[in-house]
Amino acid sequence: MSGTSTVQVINPSLPHDDYGPQVNACIWALSGMAGAWLVLRIYCKFIRHRRLWWDDYILVASWLMLLGGNISITLAIQDGFGKHSWDIPFKNYPSMLFVSAFAGTFMIIGAAWSKTAFAVTLLRISTGWQKSFIWFIIVSVNAVLGASAVMTWARCWPVEKLWMMSVAGECWSYKFNVRYNIFTAGYSGLMDITLAIIPWHILWGLSIDRKEKFSALGAMSMGIFAGITSFVKIYAIQDSGNADIADTVQLVVLATAEIAVTIIAASIPILRALARDKVPRAGPFLALDETEHWTRQQITTNGTTTTAQNSPPPLPNTPRIEDIELRPISRKKSFSDKLKVGHLSRIQEFDEAAVVQRSPRRSGWTPV
């Protein structure tokens, strides 16, 4: 009689799949790709003698959270995660649920920080209401996702009841966590898409080649794929409330993919700017200056780079670059004013050392 409570009876008619090995391969492949992009980003900055900024440090921290989540999931797989609930030994449940709670926490924090890193990048090229709106996104995303991480551990009291079902205590319904996590996934995806759209508003008025402009905007809008991943995750979250633990496998893979895609998307614009600053090409383009702000540069036919600090001799009747002042103008005047200036490529757009008057209104930047 005493042994009846520990005997696990398995119905042979039930499915007996084991998704653990596939899950392990997927999450480590995704984190490996994200890590490779991150290392390449940092390596390029070092070889170009560019210092790391807050967005770099935050992105590294988000990848470390992803790494912690992957390690926790791997430990859970060793205890049976990936199998159906009826195939997991009872004795493995406490340790599996314990490390799974850590995995969920790491993934939530990693998602919040990866989005924060890209938002911080946008802060460096934004002004006025754009900067305030980006700060709102940073604070709200960390608050919403942070609450989800807290709720993971606050659902039961004492906390040990989360992984020790035999412990006396109380837990609120897991459906509450499911509903809130659906909200966080939707909000997170919406903010990803919003952050992908903001560069269009910031860079659209710049007086650069259209092909170059769309290329830069495309690189800075890759975060839309992270938003799509977050929206797809909503369907997987709904299944996480099922009795069968195997139904949470898809959620784990999508959570990993969301962070990995965000890290890659946040690295592409920086890598592009660093590369474009070195690859010979005629015509103006966007690159990063020594202060890590976006600048408009032009590489001439002999391979030299033209900026505000390295400019060719002025043409007749053309003011010296030192005498040119950047002022905001309305969009309606942008095209006509561009025709008046012969060397737009020598104008540095976002140099901290340049004397620039910024306007909270949406406008292009052109010399007057």
* Domain range summary for the chain, segments of one domain joined by +: 20-276, 284-367
Count of Cβ atoms closer than 10 Å to residue 178 Cβ = 15
Give the residue-averaged pLDDT of 13-28: 90
CATH 1.20.1070 fits 20-276, yes or no: yes
Q: Write phi, then psi, for 345 (nearest 5 degrees).
A: -65, -15
How buried is 134 (Cβ within 10 angstroms: 0-12 exposed, 13-18 middle, 19+ buried)?
buried
pLDDT greater at residue 328 or residue 136: 136
What is residue 298's predicted lDDT score, i.e. its pLDDT?
43
* Percentage, residues of the chain above pLDDT 70: 67
Reported as a single tens digit per residue, the pLDDT across 70-121 is 999 999 999 999 999 999 999 999 999 999 999 999 999 999 999 999 999 8
pLDDT greater at residue 279 or residue 169: 169
Confidence check: pLDDT of 137 > 90:
yes
Which of 124, 284, 261, 299 shows the shortest CA–CA distance to 215?
284
Reported as a single tens digit per residue, the pLDDT across 236-292 is 998 887 888 899 999 999 999 999 999 998 888 777 766 665 544 444 444 444 444
Which pLDDT band holds residue 213 (cuts at 50, 70, 90)?
A: low
Which pLDDT band holds residue 324 (cuts at 50, 70, 90)?
A: very low
Instruction: Tell me how far apart the alpha carbons of residues 296 and 316 are, in angstroms, rounded to a whole number.
Output: 23
Which of 321, 368, 365, 308 shows the shortest CA–CA distance to 340?
368
What is residue 363's predicted lDDT score, i.e. its pLDDT?
39
Q: What is the 3-state secondary structure (H, E, C) of the chain?
A: CCCCCCCCCCCCCCCCCECHHHHHHHHHHHHHHHHHHHHHHHHHHHHCCCCCCHHHHHHHHHHHHHHHHHHHHHHHHHCCECECHHHCCHHHHHHHHHHHHHHHHHHHHHHHHHHHHHHHHHHCCCCHHHHHHHHHHHHHHHHHHHHHHHHHHHCEECHHHHCCCCCCCEECCHHHHHHHHHHHHHHHHHHHHHHHHHHHHHHCCCCCCHHHHHHHHHHHCCHHHHHHHHHHHHHHHHHCCCCCHHHHHHHHHHHHHHHHHHHHHHHHHHHHHHHHCCCCCCCEEEEECCCCCEEEEEECCCCCEECCCCCCCCCCCCCCHHHCCEEEECHHHHHHHHCCCCCHHHCCCCCCCCCECCCCCCCEEEEC
Reported as a single tens digit per residue, the pLDDT across 50-73 is 888 899 999 999 999 999 999 999
CA angle 326, 138, 60 (to 5 degrees): 95
pLDDT greater at residue 149 or residue 308: 149
What is residue 44's predicted lDDT score, i.e. its pLDDT?
85
Residues 6+ apart with CB under 8 A from 139: none
Cβ atoms of residues 184 and 143 within 8 Å:
no
Reported as a single tens digit per residue, the pLDDT across 341-363 is 333 333 233 333 333 334 443 33
What is residue 39's predicted lDDT score, i.e. its pLDDT?
94
- Mean pLDDT (the chain) is 76
Most confident of 36-45, 74-83, 260-269, 324-333: 74-83
pLDDT greater at residue 203 or residue 167: 167
Confidence check: pLDDT of 167 > 50:
yes
What is residue 271's predicted lDDT score, i.e. its pLDDT?
75
Cβ atoms of residues 352 and 319 within 8 Å:
no
Instruction: Tell me how far apart the alpha carbons of residues 151 and 181 are, in angstroms, rounded to a whole number.
Output: 10
What is residue 334's predicted lDDT score, i.e. its pLDDT?
44
Give the residue-averaged pLDDT of 148-158: 94
What is residue 79's predicted lDDT score, i.e. its pLDDT?
94
Please state at what angle helix 54-78 crosses helix 93-123, rounded to 10 degrees. 160
